[in-house]
Amino acid sequence: MAALGWLPPRRRSATARSVLAGEAAAEAARKTSRQLQLLAEPEAEFPVRGDVRAAAFFDLDNTVMQGAALFHFGRGLYKRKFFQRRELARFAWQQTWFRLAGVEDPEHMQDARESALSIVRGHRVSELMTIGEEIYDEYMADRIWPGTRALAQAHLDAGQKVWLVTAAPVETATIIARRLGLTGALGTVAESVDGVYTGRLVGEPLHGPAKAEAVRALASKEGLDLERCAAYSDSHNDIPMLSLVGHPYAINPDAQLRRYAREREWRLRDYRTGRKAAKVGIPAAAGVGALAGGTAAAVALHRRRR
C-alpha cells in the first residue's frame, strides 16, 4: 500500500513538470517566431530615396581617402619646385606619422597648415586650382576607399546631396568632391586678395567643433533636417559632427571613436585590410614604404622598452 500510495503524487509531479515544459516551449516558440518575422522583414530603406531634406557629410582624410589630402598636395607642390627638400622631409614625416598612428595629431596638422600657407603665399588661386587637378590624378585618385565611395554613391543614387567636410583647403576639397561626383565641399578657407593668397586663414581651420558648426550652418541654408542626415568619419575629433546627425557612421575608426561608437551603437565600417594591423593603428595597405616600416619597428621597440 505504501508503494501504491506513492504513485499518484509522482504522476502529478510528472504532469506538472510536463505542463511547465510545454509552457516554456510555447513561449520559446513565440519568441522565435517574432525573431524570424523580424529577420524576414526587409530593413528600412536607407538612405531614403527622394528625401530632399536629408544629406550626407563625409570627412576626407582616412575616411574617403587613405592618408591626409594636405600632405599629398604638399608632395605634388614639391615636385613642381614650390619648396625645398627640407620641407618635403617634414611633409613626409607628418604623413608617415598620420598613417602609422591612424589619428590626427593636432600639432602635426597645425604645422602642415602653416607650411602650406607659407608655400602658397603670393600665388594665384587659379594657379593652385590647376595644379590641384594634376595632383589629384598623381597622388590621390588611387587612394580613394572603394567602400566609402560606395556609401557616398548610395546617397547620390537616392537623390540626396553629399558634401565633403574637411580641414584640408577648400580648393583641394572642392577638386576631390567634383572628381568623385559629389555635391561640394566644406573646407578650410585661405585668405586671398584679388585672387592671390595672402598666407593667412579666414577664421580657423575647419577641424573638430568647427566642422559641426559648418554642417549646422549649411543644413540651415539648405533646409535640411539633421535628424534625417548622415555623417561619416574616422576620427574622434569629429564626434561633434557625428553627434549632430541622426545617422552617424564610424569609418576606419581610431580607437577612441570605435569605443565611443560601440557604446552608442553607431554603425561601424572598416575598409582597411588586416584587422590586427588596424587594431594597433598601423595601416596594412601597401605603399607605406621602407620609411614607414622602419618607423613602425622603432615605435614598437620603444613601446616594449617602456
CB 177 within 8 A of CB 165: no
**Phi, psi angle pair for 184, to nearest 5°:** 175, -165
CA distances from 292 to 75, 183, 282 (A): 16, 35, 9
Q: Which residue in the list 51, 61, 234, 254 is annotated as catalytic?
A: 61
CB atoms closer than 10 angstroms to residue 183:
17
Distance, CA of 196 to CA of 121 (rounded, Å): 8
Please give the Cα distance from 180 to 157 (Å, whole number): 13
- Residue 108 contacts residue 97 (beta carbons within 8 Å): yes
Do 285 and 278 contact (CB within 8 A), yes or no? no
**Alpha carbons 56 and 69: distance in angstroms, whole number:** 20
On whether the CB atoms of residues 233 and 261 are closer than 8 A, the answer is no
**Cell numbers representing residue 181 in the block:** 561626383
- The string of DSSP codes covering 127-175 is HHHHHHHHHIIIIIGGGB-HHHHHHHHHHHHTT-EEEEEEEEEHHHHHH
At 235, list the grid cell.
576620427
Active site residue 61: yes
DSSP letter, residue 141: G
164, 185 in Cβ contact below 8 A? yes
Which of the following is catalytic: 51, 59, 234, 238? 59
51 is catalytic: no
CA separation for the pair 211, 232 (Å, rounded): 12
158 by Cβ neighbours in 10 Å (0-12 / 13-18 / 19+) ranks as: middle
Catalogue the active-site residues: 59, 61
